[in-house]
Chains A and B, each alone.
Chain A
C-alpha cells in the first residue's frame, strides 16, 4: 500500500511499539468473605455466590478510594462450577452488580482449585504486557450450592483408554495415592500437621491478624432472617491428634485421609487489586508485593496433590531464585499429605515457621476457586510483619493433576536476608 499521502492527511499516529518492555505487576490489596461450611446448616446456605463476589469487589473499591472505578480494566472471577449463581460470566455480571461502570469488562475463569490464582496470573500477564493498568482478580466457590462434581459429564475415554486412573476424579482418593507413593508420609504426620494448622489459625485470630482482610458479609436466610458473617465457620479450634486419630477414612478401608487432615467443603469468595507499578504510583495506591513470576505444571492426575512440586521447581528455574531465598510460603492445604509431599521434596520441616504461619485451608477452609487469592492476601500481610523477608511463595495443587506457583517480592523489603 503505497498510496501517495494527501496534503491534508491527519497527523500520523504513534503506531505500535517496535519493542515492548514488560511492566512490573504489583499486588495492592486483597480481601475475602469469611469462609462458611457448605450445606444446609452453613452460614451461607441461602446466600448467593455472586453476592459474595459483589461484596468483595465493593470492599476493595471502598478500601482504595483513590482508585477511580472506571480505571479498572478487567474483572476476572474464577469459579469451578460456572452455572446457576456462579454463571452468567461472573466477572462481568458481578462487576455490574457491584456498581462498577458499564465500561468495565469482566470474565469468568476456571482452573478448579487454582481458579483465583489463574485469574491473578492471567490478568497480571495483561498488565505486564501493557494491555491493562488495573485489574481485579478473585474467585468464588459455593460448594453448598455447587457440590463437587455436580453437573459433570466426564468423557468415557478418560477411563476406558486409561488416560487417567479412575481414582483421579475423587480428590480424597488422590491424597490416599500420595500416601501410597510416599509411605514415610504417615497418617500420624498428616494429623500432626492438621493440628498445627488449627493451632496456628486460632493463634492468628486471637492476635487479630486474620480479621484485617475479612469483609463482613450479610447472610440471608428465610427462616433465620438476616445475619452478618464476621468470622470463619470451618475452624475447629482445640483439635488434638487424639481427636483426629479416631476419624473414619471415607476414601478407602484402612486409609489415612480423614475429614480432619483435609480441607472441608466450603463457601466463600476472594478478590484482589493488581496494577502496574507505574499505575499504583499514579493513583496513590500502595504496592504490597511485586510479582516475580509464576508457573503451572502438570502431574499424573491420580496424584494431583504433588502438583506444587514441579510448578515450584519450574518457577524457581525460570526466575533464578533458589528455594533457600524464599522466606515465606503460603501453600494451600487441600490435604495434609499433599503439603507434606511438597515440604519433603524441598527439605523443609513439617512445622517450619515460614510455612503457613496463620495455619491453612485445613483450618480456615478451601472454597475451591477462591483460595488462591487468600494465599496472596495473607502473604502480603506476612510481608508487612517481616520487612526482612524478600521473597514469598504462594502455591497450590489443582484437580486433574496440576500445580500452580507464584513468586512474590516484598514491596516493603528492608534489605534484610531472612530466609
Chain B
C-alpha cells in the first residue's frame, strides 16, 4: 500500500469493515459437538452452531462484519472437526424465537465507498457459502442442516438457503427476503439459491412480490409449503426433533427428493416468469426503486449459472449488485425510513412524560356515521372499555351501533376474534341520543362530526356541559383549527387534535395536534391512547391540515392546476410516476372523495390563499356528485360525465414541468411546515408521510428525495437533512 492508492477502489480487508466505536451487536457462533446416536444408532456426531447476539428475542440476532468474522472462526472450527472425522454433518440454529434477522444495519452508514461495500458483500458470501460447500476428508460432501426455529429475514434466511437441508418450526413467523423494500437485493446467495430450490415463480414471490406488498412475510408452515423448508416440526422440542430428523437423513432413513428447478424449467418459462414480474414492478414503481430491477436480473441469470462455476459467477454478480446498492441513495433512504418507522415511531419526539397520562375507562364518540363507527370499533377492540356513540337522531344511533356490532360479528365470523371476545366487545358498544347520559363518566370523548368549525364548536361546548372537567375532548378534524374549536370553553386545556388516516383500522399514523392551551396531561393521555390503539403518534402544532394533508393537498393542488391550465389528464396524473408513489394524484382524489378534498383545499386556501386554491373543475365534479376523473378509476379514460363538465385552459405543461412544479411546491411547503414549527424535526415530516399515506422507503418518505434530486436546494435554497443522514456522505 502506498500513499497514492485510491481508497475508493483499493480492496478492503474484511477486518477493516469493523469500525472503531461500532454499535454492531456482535453475533457469536458457539460450536458444540452433539451425539446423534440416541436418535438413530450409527448416526454419528454433528457440529451444532448457534447464532446468538446475547440479547433477548426483542433484539433479534443480526449479521454485521464483526459477527461474520465470528462466523468465519466458527466455520474454521467446524471444518477442523470435519477434517478430523469427528462430525458427519453440521447444523446451525438461533437463539430462542429467532434464527437470524439479516444483515446488521446499525453501522451500514459507515460504508461510504464501493470498495467497502464490495468487501461487505463478499464477506457475507464467503462465510455463508461454506455451509453449502463442506467437504469431508475424502472430498465427499458433508451435509448441513438449518434449524429455522424463528425469525429468518434477509441474510438470516440466506444462511438457511446455503444449507443442504432445512427444518422449520411451526411457530416460526417472519420468514422473508425483504431486501428489495430496503433498496437492496438478497445478494448473499438468495437470488441464486432460492429460484433453484423452489422454482422461479415462487422465488419471485418471495424476492420481489412480497417486499412490494408492504413487506409481506411467511409463516413456518407457508415456508415449508413453498418448498423453502424440507420438514415442519413443532416448537416444543424443535431442536431435538430437528436433530432426530437430521440423524434419519444421515442414516438414509429419510430421503429428501428435490429437483433443481434450474435444470427442470425451460428457458421460456423461466424468463417469462421474470418478465411478468418485471412488468408488475414497473407498473408500480416506474423505475424509482432500482433494487427490484437488479433482483429480477439476478433471478433471471440463476437458471444458467449452473454448476460450481455458474455458482461462482452468480455469487459474483450478486456481489457486484450489492456493491453498487449499498452505496446508493435509494438504499440510504430505505435505511433512514426503516429507522424512522421502527425506532422513531416508537419514541415520539416531544411527547410528555407518559406518567402524566390519565386512565381511560370509558370512551364517547360524537356522531354515529361511518367514521364514528370505525373509530368506535377501533377503540373498543383495542381499549376494551365501554364505548358510547351519540347522535341527535335515534335512527342514526341505532344504525351506527348496528354497524359496529356487525363489524364485530364479521371479525368473529372470520375467526379473527373468539366468540367470547365478540360477545364482550358487542356488550361494550352502545348508543344514545342524550350526550348527558352517554358521556357521564367518560374519560375520553372524540368527535367525528361534519368538518365545519361552527358545528364542531357547538359540539364541544355542549360536551363540556356534560363531561367531567378532566375528560379529554379529542377532535378528528383533518384541517380545521383545533385552537379555534376550543375557544370560549371553560377548560380548553383538555382539548387535543387526534387525526386518523383512512382507513383507520389500517393506516398506522395519528397526528396529535397540540393547541397553545393543551396541557401535558391531556397530551400524555392522547399519546397513551394512540399507543393502546396500536398507532404511531406524531406530535404536531395546531396548524391548518397539520402535516400530511397539507403536503398532499399542496401536491394535488399543483397537479390539478396544471390540468386546469390545459395539461392532458394522463400527463398530469402520471407526471409523478417516476417517484414510485403508492397511487397517482387522481387515484388519491377518488379515494379521499372529491368533496372532502375540495373542503380541505378550501380550508387551506383560507389560511394560505397564495399557495392553495380549490380547482374549479373539482368543484364541478363535486357539484355533479361524481367520484373522480377516470371512468372506472383505472386511469385509462376520462369519465364522459366529467369530460362534459370540464373547463380547461390552453397552456399545457409537459410531465416533467408538472413534476418539477409539484416537487418544488412540496419542498416549499415542507420548509414552511418546519419553519412554522408544525413539527420541529424534518424526520417527523417523513415519518408522517411513511405512516400516514404509505410513501415509499426508497424516497425516505419525501425529504431525502427532495435533497438528493436537488429540488430542495433549487426551491428553498437549502437541504432538509445534512449529507449522510439519509444519503451517502460525500468524499467518504
List residues of chain A with CB under 8 Å of any chain B CB: 54-55, 58, 97-99, 211, 214, 216-218, 220, 222-228, 230-231
Contacts and interface: CB of A to CB of B under 8 A. Distances in A.
B49 interface: yes
B30 A225 contact: yes
Contacts of A220: 95-96
30 contacts: A54-B237, A55-B237, A58-B236, A98-B236, A211-B38, A216-B39, A216-B240, A216-B243, A216-B244, A218-B237, A218-B240, A218-B243, A220-B96, A222-B54, A222-B95, A224-B30, A224-B32, A225-B28, A225-B30, A225-B32, A225-B48, A225-B49, A225-B50, A226-B32, A226-B93, A227-B32, A228-B35, A228-B48, A230-B34, A230-B38
Contacts of A211: 38
B48 A99 contact: no
Interface string B460-472: 0000000000000
B234 interface: yes
Contacts, number: 60
B609 interface: no
Interface residues on B, range: 20 to 34
B74 to A, nearest CB: 10
B31 interface: yes
A227 B240 contact: no
Contacts of B52: 222, 225
Nearest to B240: A218
Contacts of A225: 28-32, 48-50, 52
Contact of B35 (A97, A222, A230): A230
A227 B237 contact: no
B243 A228 contact: yes
Q: Which 10 interchain pairs have the tightest Cβ spacing?
A: A225-B50, A225-B30, A228-B34, A218-B239, A230-B35, A216-B38, A227-B32, A226-B50, A230-B38, A218-B240
B38 A55 contact: no
Given A211-B38, A214-B38, A228-B48, A223 B239 contact: no
A237 to B, nearest CB: 17
A204 B32 CA distance: 26
A218 B37 CA distance: 14
Contacts of B243: 216, 218, 228
Nearest to B50: A225
Given A99-B236, A225-B28, 19 more contacts: A97-B236, A99-B234, A216-B38, A216-B240, A216-B243, A217-B240, A220-B95, A222-B54, A223-B28, A224-B32, A225-B29, A225-B49, A226-B32, A226-B50, A226-B93, A228-B239, A228-B243, A230-B34, A231-B35
A381 to B, nearest CB: 16
Contacts of B28: 223, 225
Interface in B9-53: 28-32, 34-35, 37-39, 48-50, 52
Contact of A226 (B48, B54, B236, B244): B48
Nearest to A212: B38
Dominant secondary structure at the B interface: mixed
Contacts of A217: 240
A211 B243 CA distance: 17
A228 B34 CA distance: 6
Given A225-B49, A225-B52, A230 B239 contact: no
Contacts of A226: 32, 48, 50, 93, 239
Contact of B37 (A54, A227, A230): A230
Interface string B225-243: 0000000001011011001
A404 B50 CA distance: 44
Best-buried of B32, B95, B244 by chain A (most CB within 10 Å): B32
A217 B237 CA distance: 8
Contacts of B32: 224-228
Interface in B211-252: 234, 236-237, 239-240, 243-244
A366 to B, nearest CB: 22
Interface in B45-84: 48-50, 52, 54
Contacts of A99: 234, 236
Contacts of B96: 220
Nearest to B39: A216
A227 B237 CA distance: 13
Nearest to A221: B30
A48 B512 CA distance: 45
A251 B274 CA distance: 77
Contacts of B239: 218, 226, 228
A233 to B, nearest CB: 13
A54 B236 contact: yes
A46 to B, nearest CB: 11
A377 to B, nearest CB: 15
B389 to A, nearest CB: 37
Contacts of B240: 55, 216-218, 228
A401 to B, nearest CB: 38
B43 to A, nearest CB: 11
Contacts of B38: 211, 214, 216, 230
Contacts of A216: 38-39, 240, 243-244
A190 B29 CA distance: 46
A231 B30 CA distance: 21
**In this complex, which of A97, A98, A211, A216 has the most chain B Cβ atoms within 10 angstroms of its Cβ?**
A216
Nearest to B93: A226
A58 B30 contact: no
Contacts of B30: 223-225
Contacts of B54: 222
A223 B52 CA distance: 8
A226 to B, nearest CB: 5
Nearest to A224: B30
Nearest to A214: B38
B147 to A, nearest CB: 8
A173 to B, nearest CB: 39
Nearest to B94: A226
B286 to A, nearest CB: 47
Nearest to A54: B236
For B39, B48, B239, the residue with the greatest tally of chain A CB atoms inside 10 Å of its CB is B239
Interface in B332-360: none
Nearest to B74: A225
A202 to B, nearest CB: 17
A228 B246 CA distance: 13
A217 B54 CA distance: 22
A241 B50 CA distance: 42
Contacts of B50: 225-226
A231 B37 CA distance: 11
B149 to A, nearest CB: 9
Contacts of B93: 226
Interface string B85-112: 0000000010110000000000000000
A224 B234 CA distance: 24
Nearest to B52: A225
A302 B566 CA distance: 104
Contact of A58 (B29, B34, B48, B237): B237
B40 to A, nearest CB: 11
Contacts of B35: 228, 230-231
Contacts of B29: 225
